[in-house]
Amino acid sequence: MNFAGFSLRNLSPKIGSPGSAVIASRFASNEVTFQTRPYKLHKLDSGPASETTLTKEDALDYYRKMQVIRRMETSAGNLYKEKKIRGFCHLYTGQEACAVGMVGAMDKEDAVITAYRCHGWTYLLGSTVLEVIAELTGKISGNVYGKGGSMHMYDKNFFGGNGIVGAQQPLGAGIAFAMKYRKQKNSCFTLYGDGAANQGQLFEATNMAKLWDLPCVFICENNGFGMGTSADRASASTDYYTRGDYVPGIWVDAMDILSVREATRFAKEYCNSGKGPLMMELATYRYSGHSI
Amino acid sequence: MFIRNVSNCVISRNGVCSNLKNALYITSRRNLASNTQTMTIRDALNSALDEEIKRDDRVFVLGEEVAQYDGAYKVTKGLWKKYGDERLVDTPITEMGFAGIAVGAAFAGLRPVCEFMTFNFSMQAIDQIINSAAKTYYMSAGRVPVPIVFRGPNGAAAGVAAQHSQDFSAWFAHCPGLKVLAPYDSEDCRGLLKAAIRDDNPVVFLENEILYGTPFPVTEEVLKEDFVLPIGKAKIAKEGTDVTIVSYSRGVQLALEAHEQLKKENISAEVINLRSLRPFDFKTISDSVKKTHHLVVVEYGWPFCGIGAEICAQVVETDTFDYLDAPVLRVTGVDVPMPYAATLESNALPTTAHVVKTVKKSLNIQ
């Protein structure tokens, strides 16, 4: 098919948003270069790249992963309504680009620790969909033989799955401490929500991370709500990427997976150069409630 | 390693040999016929930490004042000078934060020794101790072991009032996933601290501030670098036939003093030093009660839901009950927040006289 004369603008990949403008594409190649969404910076002179190249292979991989997570979470929701999943079930529906984008920039020896909205992460970091759903339904074929459940799933360099809001913040700094102790060139990506961003232990953790130059990336997945309370009713400042004060921060439009990936690459390079911790705010949204 | 001052380093009352400039642990030699050496608790802990830091690269100590200040109670004296910033880490006064960091480091395979200046401050970090450290090995079905030691002084000190005097033994002993140790003398401290550091589980190591300066006899065996005591095994400190007195930590001192006083009145008391609260060596207590038929438990903490209460329950639930000739009696601290005034404080705590009186009550003697 001959695309000559067909405006490249119409190849905008995103529905419902101005979208990343396609800069260049050679139809015979397997690569496209996109512009990333604008970042906001806190105490940084320069930020992540404004352009990124996406290969066909990666595009299909990211798309597949996001779809799998979306469908897995939808099934989990249905299973919960059928009472096959008990207790809590915190769905990642809508936030897929955060996890998939970050994993696209991480390497195998980086670590991740998050809170209880962890099913998508568990899938991305080593478990099959079966192992996740089996865990949710309490089967021995589950990620941790049914002993953990929705909130407590683990893998190599993936430290859960943590039920107590904010507890993972100093834990993540501790994992980063171990990486520095062993002189590894890796980072620990420590995720928390906009609700957990107000926890005192976050400030304790960022203080020590900054004091000791720990390679910890503190990432606030701001989906607009802490449980049932909107962010602006819980936080005196909703600029979560600035809340690290002396820790530099980046705000990312996390509905755009490539922006997330680029920001994560920047964060990795920043921490690996020994500059200490970084804070990121991923502006995202969840389509379900806090839990079902 | 040791600096032995053979001639006249008589142990001062608080056990610190002040003529020593080098900050290494010391032993003092008292020239008895049997050539016994003594060592203070402080030195026992210091030497154990020193040897374990040397032995395993992954071991490090963190807490308030542990490095440059040589330790708030001088337990880590000399270690920072010897091993540096990497192995001895001074933290800000943020227990929840640094305990969490320590647990995270343990998740990632290091072996932290997290010091709480006293266990009163562990309450600020209790979520990290229980929910992050104690439960993770189980929740992760064994994927994530947590080889951490939380140590520090526990229980009443002297004149520090209500917020700084609580005994947390029952609180921590309650929780599956933790190991909880309560050493008494220097042998206990050396052997159990080494065992705790080498154990792959989270261990709460409850020391006692009042005893830090007290010297105790130690054999050559105890001074060896690989001297390790088994976790979960009680020690029969004194054998006896008329009554069993069970205690742990500082309570053992009261039990031993009571043993001496009772001996003068021809009462033979068997004294059990629990050493370990979780796992708990009930068998040693049971075997003893089956022999003596009388049981008195001594603890410094509050009575309600205390260690004595647990011992009573276990006695009643087993055939040990059938061997009792009297109810199990407890000597505990008084159920009040610790008062400040010296007379009030001493009246809120158990004494040797209380133990003797309770033993006699158990034996129905005046």
Vertex A279: Cα angle to A276 and A280 (nearest 5): 140
Write the residue in B102, B143, B144 that is nearest to A174 by C-beta. B102
Residues paired with residue B246 on neighbouring β-strands, in sequence order: B272, B297
Q: In chain A, which residues have their Cβ closer than 8 Å to the Cβ of B108?
A: 111, 159, 174-175, 177-179
- With beta carbons less than 8 A apart as the criterion, state whether A182 and B111 touch: no
The DSSP call for residue B129 is: I
Q: Whole-angstrom Cα distance, residue B345 to residue B350?
A: 10
Q: Where are the domains of chain A?
A: 36-283
CATH topology of domain A36-283: Rossmann fold (3.40.50)
- Candidates B108, B127, B144; nearest CB to A164: B127
Mutate to test the interface with B, among A175, A179, A182 (most CBs of B within 10 A): A175
| DSSP string covering A202-263 | HHHHHHHHHHTT--EEEEEEE-SEETTEEHHHH-S---GGGTTTTS-EEEEETTSHHHHHHH
Tokens 């004595």, residue located? B308
Chain B nearest C-alpha distance from A209 (Å): 9
One digit per residue, the tens of pLDDT, for chain A of length 292 reads 444 444 444 444 444 445 555 665 556 689 999 999 999 999 999 999 999 999 999 999 999 999 999 999 999 999 999 999 999 999 999 999 999 999 999 999 999 999 999 999 999 999 999 999 999 999 999 999 999 999 999 999 999 899 999 999 999 999 999 999 999 999 999 999 999 999 999 999 999 999 999 999 999 999 999 999 999 999 999 999 999 999 999 999 999 999 999 999 999 999 999 999 999 999 999 999 999 8
Residue B126: partners with Cβ closer than 8 Å, 6 or more residues away: none
Interface of A with B (CB under 8 A): 111, 113, 144-145, 147-148, 152, 154-155, 159-164, 167, 169-179, 181, 188, 200-201, 203-205, 207-208, 211-212
How far does A200 lie from chain B, in Å, by closest CA?
Answer: 9
C-alpha closest to that of B101 among A234, A205, A98? A205
CB atoms within 10 A of CB A210: 18
Residue B10 has pLDDT above 90, yes or no: no
Q: A159 with A174: CB under 8 angstroms?
A: no
Mean pLDDT within B114-132: 98
pLDDT of residue B32: 45
pLDDT at B286: 98
pLDDT the model gives residue A29: 80
| pLDDT, average across residues B187-194 | 98
Residue B6 pLDDT > 90, yes or no?
A: no
Q: Look at A37-46, B16-25, B84-93 and tell me which has the smallest mean pLDDT.
A: B16-25
- pLDDT for residue B60 is more than 70: yes
Are A171 and B131 an interchain contact pair (Cβ–Cβ within 8 Å)?
Answer: no
Give the 3-state secondary structure of residue B329.
strand
* Contact between chains at B140 and A154 (C-beta distance less than 8 A): yes
Note the pTM of the prediction, 2 decimals.
Answer: 0.90
Contact residues, chain A, for B94 at CB < 8 Å:
204, 207-208
Per-residue pLDDT, A292: 86
Q: List, in sequence order, every beta strand (DSSP E) within B176-222.
A: 179-181, 203-207, 215-218
Per-residue pLDDT at B8: 39
> What ipTM did this prediction achieve?
0.90
pLDDT of B173 strictly over 90: yes
**What value does the mean pLDDT of chain B take?**
92
Q: Determine how many CB atoms are found less than 10 A away from the CB of residue B187.
A: 22
